[in-house]
Amino acid sequence: MMAARIRVKLQSYDYKVLDQTAEEILDAALQSGAEVIGPVPLPTRIEKFTVIRGPHIDKRSQEAFEQRTHARLIDVNDPTPKTI
């Protein structure tokens, strides 16, 4: 029989909030008696957008924006009923 596993993937734009939430999940799982692996940092996804600043013609005046999505992975092996 395969052992049960819960895989939690967290994503956020703010890495501080992400790490704090991962720590809370880690503490809750450990207090319930489950074996926890992680949080494993996953690659940060970077999306870049370039838009024209003005509503009319001047294409040479552009503005660039960037959105970073941070991710963490937590594996809970052999969760107890209290963990769930």
* Full set of structural domains in the chain with CATH: 5-77 (3.30.70.600)
pLDDT in tens, 30-75: 998 889 998 999 999 999 999 999 888 888 899 999 999 999 999 9
Q: Is-above-0.85 flag for pTM?
A: no
- 1 pLDDT higher than 60: no
Is the link from the previous residue into 39 a cis peptide, with omega within 30 of 0? Answer: yes
Residue 47: left if φ>0, alpha if ψ -120 to 50, beta else—which one?
beta
Alpha helices in 1-84 (DSSP H): 15-31
Q: Which position has the higher pLDDT, 12 or 60?
A: 12
pLDDT band at 2 (very low <50, low <70, confident <90, very high): low
- Please indicate whether residue 55 or residue 17 has the higher confidence score (pLDDT): 17
